[in-house]
Amino acid sequence: MLKSLSVLAGMLIATLALPATPWAADPDPRDWDAVLAEARGQTVYFNAWGGSENINSYIGWAGETLNQRFGVKVIHVKLDDTANAVAKVLAEKAAGKNEGGSVDVIWINGENFASMKRQNLLMAPDWTTGLPNWVYVDHENMPTILTDFTIPTDGLESPWGGAKMVFFHDTARTPADSIPHSSVELLEWSKDNPGRFSYPQPPDFIGSSFLKQVLIETIEDKSRLSQPVNAASFAEDAAPLFAYLDDLHPNLWRGGKAYPQNYPDMKQKLADGELDIIFAFNPSEASAGIAAGELPDTVRSFSYTDGTLGNTHFVAIPYNATAKAGALVLANFLISPEAQLRKQDPALWGDPTVLSMDKLSAEDRAAFAALDLGVATLTPDELGPTLDEPHPDWMEYIEREWLRRYGVAN
């Protein structure tokens, strides 16, 4: 029974995976009027992480605006993990669905981008630099816009916002003069304050970022990080990282036997008094949390002296998207000064812009300058230097090694 079924299923795969008809020519952003005309009336399925009500509201606003101005309807497909959307596109490719796919725009960076790019799951070639609003993008000064986790973006994903690791503490419990300013100091601090620090369990994005931060600070030959992992020397390269973790873990929250789920979970634990130091990838998170009544107003931000990890997040269009023109209109709108200004407002989202102030009109520049970033947000110079993301390979290796070492307690 089972055998004949699998044979049947195999035949089904064979039949359905026959070469599909070649798909129609993609819209060209350099002919913007044609894009706008084609986009009118389209529905764009925007696959984006849905775990933050602020962000969901922002996307809702963008959709309404697009609908009013360009007749493009945007539907936010809320993901709990971006990889689900990647998997969906892959499943569609597996089923031979080379057009009319269910994902039109995907919020993406790093590992997921590398994976989609490698498997040719993205709309190509370069479409981002042809977007009308590309002229404002600060690609000269922000290398992470053209290189996503050391992988060249090649115009396959359009920048949306910046991110940089920042730490938060509650001054009511943790005095400002006691906070650490490097991973080494954090280790010392945790020994003095056992059980009051932790990080989300990898492969949570924030948790993995913490591992990368320590890796960057502890690895001897930093140049290796821009290359794919050398399997032969990995153990040696990562040895300082895992020595550090071995030292740190006994003093983690719950003794390292359980981990926070993700950043919002850590935020809750800071408010509950379970954790004393937490961190996020968005410098205005603390201010936003205070404004929302999720954190006490005594919370403040801090950064490391020698810098913290930073990157850019993007939107990309799958190769088989149904509403490519609409997707282009959305991507373009997301890097408009108007949308970026709103995105940087901590009351609404509070994500650093990817635009260059120098390229903006005087009026827009003034609007950005007038933003109240909130009491707990650091100024750009207080944020300290930005450390580049390592090659995505590293994340994979480290996550795997982490799981091997710590994945089974006792």
Tell which one of 112, 150, 174, 344 touches other proteins (CB under 8 A): 112
Tell which one of 295, 317, 355, 376 touches other proteins (CB under 8 A): 295
Please report whether residue 38 would count as binding other proteins according to CB under 8 A. Answer: no
CB-based burial of residue 120 (10 Å sphere; 0-12 exposed, 13-18 middle, 19+ buried)? Answer: exposed
Please tell me whether residue 323 adopts helix, strand or coil conformation: coil
Rounded Cα gap, residues 221 and 228, in angstroms: 14
Rounded Cα gap, residues 167 and 276, in angstroms: 10
* φ, ψ (nearest 5 deg) of residue 185: -65, -35
Please report whether residue 41 would count as binding other proteins according to CB under 8 A. Answer: no
Rounded Cα gap, residues 350 and 357, in angstroms: 17
CB of 278 to other proteins, least distance (A): 12
The one-letter code for the residue type at 364 is: D
Q: Are 360 and 337 in contact (CB under 8 A)?
A: yes
CB of 256 to other proteins, least distance (A): 8
Beta strands in 154-268 (DSSP E): 157-164, 166-170
Of 100 and 385, which CB lies nearer to other proteins in the complex structure?
100
Q: Locate 93 and state its tokens.
A: 């490719």
Query: 131 forms bridges with which residues in the sheet?
Result: none
Rounded Cα gap, residues 206 and 281, in angstroms: 7
Q: Could you tell me which of 314, 329, 319, 315 has the C-alpha nearest to residue 123?
A: 319
CB of 320 to other proteins, least distance (A): 11
Rounded Cα gap, residues 215 and 248, in angstroms: 14
CB of 137 to other proteins, least distance (A): 25
Of 136 and 210, which CB lies nearer to other proteins in the complex structure?
210
CB of 369 to other proteins, least distance (A): 28
Please report whether residue 359 would count as binding other proteins according to CB under 8 A. Answer: no
Stretch that binds other proteins, among 50-58, 226-234, 348-356, 380-388 (CB under 8 A): 50-58
Q: Locate 147 and state its tokens.
A: 């290189």
Please report whether residue 407 would count as binding other proteins according to CB under 8 A. Answer: yes
Please report whether residue 293 would count as binding other proteins according to CB under 8 A. Answer: yes
Please report whether residue 8 would count as binding other proteins according to CB under 8 A. Answer: yes
With tokens 């490698």, the residue in question is 118
Region 57-76 residues binding other proteins, contact defined as CB under 8 A = 57, 60, 75
Please report whether residue 138 would count as binding other proteins according to CB under 8 A. Answer: no
Of 37 and 403, which CB lies nearer to other proteins in the complex structure?
403
Tell which one of 65, 171, 262, 356 touches other proteins (CB under 8 A): 262
Please report whether residue 11 would count as binding other proteins according to CB under 8 A. Answer: no
Q: Are 15 and 44 in contact (CB under 8 A)?
A: no
Tell which one of 35, 36, 66, 85 touches other proteins (CB under 8 A): 85
Please report whether residue 235 would count as binding other proteins according to CB under 8 A. Answer: no
Please report whether residue 258 would count as binding other proteins according to CB under 8 A. Answer: yes
Give the gyration radius of the chain's Cα atoms. 22
CB of 310 to other proteins, least distance (A): 21
CB of 39 to other proteins, least distance (A): 19
Tell which one of 246, 257, 305, 385 touches other proteins (CB under 8 A): 257
Tell which one of 38, 61, 77, 99 touches other proteins (CB under 8 A): 77
Rounded Cα gap, residues 145 and 44, in angstroms: 24
Q: Are 385 and 181 in contact (CB under 8 A)?
A: no
Please report whether residue 81 would count as binding other proteins according to CB under 8 A. Answer: yes
CB-based burial of residue 20 (10 Å sphere; 0-12 exposed, 13-18 middle, 19+ buried)? Answer: middle
Tell which one of 30, 31, 37, 87 touches other proteins (CB under 8 A): 87
Stretch that binds other proteins, among 9-17, 144-152, 240-248, 364-372 (CB under 8 A): 9-17
Rounded Cα gap, residues 136 and 256, in angstroms: 45
Stretch that binds other proteins, among 134-142, 145-153, 269-277, 348-356 (CB under 8 A): 269-277
What is the size of the binding site for other proteins (CB under 8 A)? Answer: 84
